[in-house]
Amino acid sequence: MRRGPWIIVALAILAPAISVGRVSTATAATASTTGGWTWPVVGPVIQAFDPPDTPYGSGHRGIDIAASFGTTVVAPADGTVTFAGPVGGYLFITVDHGGGLSSTYSWLSAKLVRKGDHVLRDQPIGLTGWGHPAAPIPHLHLGVKLDGSYVDPLSYLGPISLASFVRLAPFP
């Protein structure tokens, strides 16, 4: 009986490593997203990551990806929805990917998941809205946190696929 707790501790330590391994396998099998996460929406980055100097300082805690209002947002990797609902009148979704890594989708017009849902990579989770209030171009704000600190989402997104870019671009 004395071994019980130690087995549980070992599993807890190994779980993130197992999870990361599984995501890597999925990445290798998806030609259009080699090297990282699926882009939650496909479009140009119109506002880059600009980490604040202090936790409450000004900055940009993520990236803004241009997307027409109502564009489907997909999960970039497997995870569990830890938040899906309004904050100050705007919709936000947060997905926990394990290993201290989470992603947040801001200014949405609709949510397709609920808190506690397990989501798979490429699964639709919501629809984009107008973006930051008063922003001139509709976009998705994507934030990524590692161990509680904001990090550059571009470090996790794979190279954008030109084929999907052309496919998703609206015809004039």
Interacting residue ranges for Zn ion, rule: CB under 5 A: 64, 141
Of 37 and 49, which has the nearer Cβ to Zn ion? 49
Least Cβ distance, residue 141 to Zn ion (angstroms)? 3
Least Cβ distance, residue 140 to Zn ion (angstroms)? 9
Buried b (16+ CB within 10 A) or exposed e, 134-162: eeeebbbbbbbbeeeebbebeebbbebbe
Of 26 and 160, which has the nearer Cβ to Zn ion? 160
Alpha-carbon span 108 to 85, nearest angstrom? 10
Least Cβ distance, residue 132 to Zn ion (angstroms)? 5
Of 6 and 53, which has the nearer Cβ to Zn ion? 53
Give the angle 123-156-128 at the CA atoms, nearest 5°: 45
Of 64 and 78, which has the nearer Cβ to Zn ion? 64
Least Cβ distance, residue 24 to Zn ion (angstroms)? 28
Alpha-carbon span 47 to 136, nearest angstrom? 12
